[in-house]
């Protein structure tokens, strides 16, 4: 599309096949021609709102930045859709440098990469911020970090090294205590008492292996299933704070010793969970509360004297005196107080205007 931020894709073929493989927060597509021609690789990052959707080619959805057409009749298009345009793609098959092993497909390598690098300065930060570092937690995002920490009751602003070193010590003690445990018993213990790194694998796997498509925002039933799956993120009654990167972390209980100063924990109101589509109450402007009488009066025909009152403020009082000196009717007016404060005069003048 004209507003897409990715590069042009130098690929054209009458018939080709698309395959995909993912690693962490990236997805690699491979376009392979069924006839002569070279294949083409693309690596995608999705940002906050990127997704793929198969839809009629004649009616592409809005924000479809890249389309792959089928030969059906009528044809369809596999569209890369990104409303916020935070997503991107690049040519070639190389993964983005600086990303660690995938928490899903490379779990053992991911675990070793974290535990052997605990001296890295990334672990000087709170655990909620360290979990978004893709050098060590490739694949963990904002909602996943909240769900993982909530299940383990870990304060989000506890120091990352403190949390992970304790985990390392527990693992070593468990090995010394039970050296004769069989593999099946070890797996059972892990399932019953998972640690933080194990949940970095298990929690996203719950989403992937779910029977329903939890992330289809156009399907109200599926999106409702995703919201029901969440235990902490955006859940009413949970607290929230912004970390030093400006990302909101949801949690329950105390935030931890490294919580940012000057912030107060905000709680999501239960009313929003109960009825998210409830109409917003009408907000009454403050000005109407101050002068309800002026708003209730019917408009009067504008006279020359009143037009003078609408001129710049310098000549307002002179216009009002002129109007008082020449009343429209012959009936006597009620007596006017001789003394009037400047503030009252100015306020009444604004009300008339």
Span 224-250, pLDDT tens digits: 888 889 999 999 999 999 999 999 999
Q: What is the mean pLDDT of the chain?
A: 79
Q: What is the pLDDT at residue 322? A: 46
Span 320-332, pLDDT tens digits: 444 444 444 444 5
Span 81-139, pLDDT tens digits: 998 888 999 999 999 999 999 999 999 999 999 999 999 999 999 999 999 999 999 99
Q: What is the pLDDT at residue 303? A: 47
More confident position, 193 or 51: 51
Domains delineated in the chain = 16-91 (3.20.190.10), 107-268 (1.10.8.50)
User: Do 138 and 23 form a contact (C-beta atoms < 8 A)?
Assistant: yes
CA angle 202, 87, 232 (to 5 degrees): 35
Lowest mean pLDDT among 19-23, 53-57, 61-65, 314-318: 314-318
Q: What is the pLDDT at residue 317? A: 46
User: Do 85 and 92 form a contact (C-beta atoms < 8 A)?
Assistant: no
**Per-residue pLDDT band at 23 (split at 50, 70, 90):** very high
User: Do 207 and 220 form a contact (C-beta atoms < 8 A)?
Assistant: no
Among the listed residues 191, 217, 221, the one whose alpha carbon sits nearest the alpha carbon of residue 206:
191
* Token digits of residue 210: 């779910």
What is the average per-residue pLDDT within 31-55?
A: 92
Distance, in Å, from the CA atom of 28 to the CA atom of 51, rounded to the nearest integer, reads 13
Q: Quick one: what percent of the chain has pLDDT higher than 90?
A: 50
């Amino acid at each position: 599309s004209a507003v897409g931020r990715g590069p042009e894709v130098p690929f054209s073929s009458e018939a080709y096949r698309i395959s995909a493989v993912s690693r962490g927060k990236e997805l690699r597509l491979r376009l392979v021609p069924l006839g002569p021609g070279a294949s083409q690789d693309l690596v995608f990052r999705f940002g906050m709102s990127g997704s793929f959707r198969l839809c009629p080619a004649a009616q592409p959805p809005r924000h479809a930045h890249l389309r792959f057409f089928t030969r059906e009749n009528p044809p369809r298009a596999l569209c890369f859709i990104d409303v916020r345009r935070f997503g991107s793609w690049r040519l070639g098959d190389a993964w983005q440098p600086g990303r660690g092993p995938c928490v899903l497909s490379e779990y053992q390598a991911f675990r070793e990469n974290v535990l052997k690098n605990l001296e890295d300065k990334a672990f000087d930060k709170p655990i909620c911020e360290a979990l978004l570092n893709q050098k060590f937690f490739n694949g963990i995002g904002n909602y996943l970090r909240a769900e993982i920490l909530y299940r383990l009751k870990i304060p989000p602003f506890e120091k990352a090294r403190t949390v992970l070193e304790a985990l390392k010590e527990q693992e070593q003690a468990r090995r010394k205590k039970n050296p004769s445990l069989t593999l099946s018993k070890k797996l059972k213990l892990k399932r019953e008492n998972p640690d933080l790194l194990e949940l970095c694998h298990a929690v996203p796997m719950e989403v992937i292996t779910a029977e329903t498509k939890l992330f289809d925002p156009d399907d109200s039933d599926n999106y409702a299933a995703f919201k029901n799956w969440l235990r902490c993120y955006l859940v009413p009654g949970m607290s929230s704070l912004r970390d030093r990167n400006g990302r909101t972390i949801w949690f329950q209980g105390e935030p931890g010793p490294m919580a940012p100063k000057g912030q107060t924990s905000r709680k999501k109101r239960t009313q929003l969970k109960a009825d998210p589509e409830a109409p917003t109450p009408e907000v009454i402007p403050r000005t109407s509360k101050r002068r309800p009488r002026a708003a209730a009066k019917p408009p009067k025909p504008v006279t020359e004297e009143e037009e003078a009152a609408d001129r710049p403020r310098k000549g307002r009082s002179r216009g009002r005196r002129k109007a008082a000196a020449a009343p429209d009717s012959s009936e006597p007016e009620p007596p006017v107080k001789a003394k009037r404060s400047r503030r009252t005069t100015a306020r009444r003048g604004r009300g008339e205007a």
